[in-house]
Amino acid sequence: LRSIASAVSVAIENSKLYDEIKKVYIKTIEALAYAMEAKDLYTKGHSMRVSQYAVLIGEYMGFSREKIEQLRIAGILHDIGKIGISDTILLKKGKLSEEEYNVIKSHPEISKKILMPIDLPKEILEAISKHHERYDGKGYPYGLKGEEIPIEAAILGVADAFDAMTSDRAYRKGMTIEEAINELLKYKGTQFHPEVVDAFISLYMNEKHRLEEIKNQVFSNAS
């Protein structure tokens, strides 16, 4: 019995150590994501905002605390694959060539490869690698459509698009929240998952101030 208890104790300690290493690794990847965004004034804070929008959507869709935490992590890490893409493409001010755009489209798969060794829950990896899929099947990298797209990925897709639309870029001013909402409604059922858009609209109708707070927040850890 003593030897069994000892073995169990060692296993628990090893498990704790593994969890600590995993947390440190995730924090390191998060720091890399923030550092990558800091290169460009216009993408600064993007991942944190996407994470917070995704969490709010998850709350409105009745997700469990565990699922919401998965969305939070996925949101922060969703663009980490852009680390593997040249700055000349990422920071290009003009229109991308078809070849350059194809390189950009590889970032979800690069993200998955970077994160695979961490042994993250499948839902996080699926959300990250498939957040650019479209409900009508015209997205990338896998061309999935409808319910083939994991709901977590569909949520990230809406959160990502909303932040992109409402953020300033070098070549344009960001949309107002109302303008972005209209775009989500316009592409509901084609680009965006209808259920996710409905949840986002409910969020907007009931707690617009929370969207405004995230949109206007300055993230010190992304500076």
Question: Mapped to the 3 state alphabet, what secondary structure does 69-123 carry?
Answer: HHHHHHHHHCCHHHHHCCHHHHCCCCCCCHHHHHHHCCHHHHHHHHHHHHCCCHH
Rg (CA), the chain: 19
Q: What is the pLDDT of residue 5?
A: 45
Average pLDDT over residues 161-188: 91
Task: Point out the least confidently predicted range of 21-25, 44-48, 73-77, 98-102.
Answer: 21-25
Angstrom CA distances, 195 to 129, 144, 147, 182, 186, stand at 20, 17, 11, 16, 14
- CA dist 47 to 99, 109, 134, 138, 192, Å? 25, 17, 20, 24, 19
Indicate whether 107 pLDDT > 70: yes
Quickly name the fold that domain 2-222 has. Answer: Hypothetical protein af1432 (1.10.3210)
Which DSSP state fits 139? -
Instruction: Express each pLDDT in 39-82 by its tens digit.
Output: 665 677 899 999 999 999 999 999 999 999 999 999 999 998 98
* Predicted pLDDT of residue 14: 57
**pLDDT above 90 coverage of the chain, percent:** 59
* Every domain of the chain and the residues it spans: 2-222
| AA identity, residue 138 | K
Is pLDDT above 70 for 28? yes
Higher pLDDT, 200 or 119: 200
